[in-house]
Amino acid sequence: MENAIRNLQQEISEYELTSMKDIEAFRLRFTVRKGLIAGLFGQLKSVLPADKPRMGQLLNQLRQTADDKLAAATAELASVESKKEPALDLTLPGRRSFIGSEHPVQKVLGEMKAIFSSMGFSIATGPELELDHYNFDLLNFPPDHPARDMQDTFFITRGNANGDVLLRTHTSPVQIRVMLDQKPPIRVICPGKVYRNEAISSRSYCVFHQLEGLYIDKGVSFADLKATIYSFAHQMFGSDVKLRFRPSFFPFTEPSAEVDVTCYLCGGKGCRVCKKSGWLEIMGCGMVHPNVMRNCGIDPEKWSGYAFGMGVDRTVLLRYKIDDIRLLFENDVRMLQQFPA
């Protein structure tokens, strides 16, 4: 058995390990459970008891020699492979550089903020989860107003001690919070996301972005409101834009109006987007109702103001001539790539 050990020792020493294939063959021949070294360990039981300690020691040395050689060869080959330069395939196509894009809603919202900021408006934000006290009561909504129905508003909980909890239907509660916290004069815009329980179509969605404005000071008139809206429209849509003011009603403004622009798709001739009218509504506006000012602790005999609110998503449709509002919420990469940063 000693001769077998020494012969195997010589074979291991002379074995050349120059590739991963050689290393794998070496491992299978010598070091695995059914290899030659393991076979010699199996023959140890037939050795005379007096010779077993010495044979066992020789076998352990043999196994250690094989393991060390295998480990050293594996490490050396791995080091050589890591230093090799990767092969360059000149037939591969060049790598494209992908440029990120800004969502059109955020892009237009940023432009709207910049326009109103240049007019002296500051920016205020508020919670999207709101109490009906701020969303309806302080804004002069009567208890039986249709907007308080579940068909129009997403209610979270009803009948709480502090009032019903809902997803805000407009950013007007932010205006209320500003009027409660600040004293006039006030000039602020309130951008944010709002929610309404509406049927989803090409012109309406259950969630959308809104920007509202509020200006309270001494001697503020409806003429000031019109001047602000015209200035915004000319900067946003161009100097040749045509506007139309229509009398309307909102619980929180008096008098009130809705503002339309000529349909961008049909040029005023009538199409499915404008419902054959030739006009598209872009905002509602009016003078702040005296009751709203009293609810917020502002004397309507001393101060006056105007408020307006517009859908940012509708402005995006106008600006980029998109005929379906649902495209803004589908995150279709093909559409978003058309608005590079």
User: Options 1.20.1250.20, 3.40.50.300, 3.30.930.10, 3.30.70.100; which CATH number does 104-127+171-336 get?
Assistant: 3.30.930.10
pLDDT score for 299? 96
Please report the pLDDT score of residue 152 as a whole number.
82
User: Residues near 66 by Cβ (< 8 Å), separated by ≥ 6?
Assistant: 12, 26, 30, 31, 37
pLDDT(211) > 90: yes
Residue predicted with more confidence, 66 or 160: 66
State residue 310's pLDDT score. 93
Region 75-90: mean pLDDT is 74
Quote the pLDDT of residue 76. 84
> Is the pLDDT assigned to residue 84 strictly greater than 70?
no
> Which pLDDT score is estimated for 85?
60
Note the pLDDT tens digit of each residue in 217-253.
999 999 999 999 999 988 988 887 889 999 999 999 9
Q: What is the pLDDT of residue 333?
A: 83
Q: Quote the pLDDT of residue 150.
A: 63
Give pLDDT, residue 105: 92
Over residues 104-145, the pLDDT tens digits come to 999 999 999 999 999 999 999 999 999 999 999 999 998 887
Read off the pLDDT of residues 12-60 as tens digits, 9 standing for 90 and up.
Answer: 888 888 888 888 888 888 888 888 888 877 877 787 888 778 888 887 8
pLDDT at 319 over 90: no
pLDDT greater at residue 283 or residue 159: 283
Q: What is the pLDDT of residue 83?
A: 67
Residue 274: pLDDT above 80? no
Percent of the chain with pLDDT over 70: 96
157-210 pLDDT, tens digit per residue, is: 887 777 889 999 999 999 999 999 999 999 999 999 999 988 888 778 899 999
Mean pLDDT of the chain: 87
pLDDT of residue 127: 94
Confidence of residue 151 (pLDDT cuts 50, 70, 90): low
pLDDT of residue 99 exceeding 70, the answer is: yes
Domain ranges of the chain: 2-82, 104-127+171-336
Using H for helix, E for strand and C for coil, what is the string for the chain? CHHHHHHHHHHHHHCCCCCHHHHHHHHHHHHCCCCHHHHHHHHHHHCCCCCHHHHHHHHHHHHHHHHHHHHHHHHHHHHHHHHCCCCCCCCCCCCCCCCCECCHHHHHHHHHHHHHHHCCCEECCCCCEEEHHHHCHHHCCCCCCHHHCCCCCCEEECCCCCCCEEECCCCHHHHHHHHHHCCCCEEEEEEEEEECCCCCCCCCCCEEEEEEEEEEECCCCHHHHHHHHHHHHHHHHCCCCCEEEEEEEECCEEEEEEEEEECCCCCCCCCCCCCCCCEEEEEEEEEECHHHHHHCCCCCCCCEEEEEEEEHHHHHHHHHCCCCHHHHCCCCHHHHCCCEC
pLDDT at 257: 96
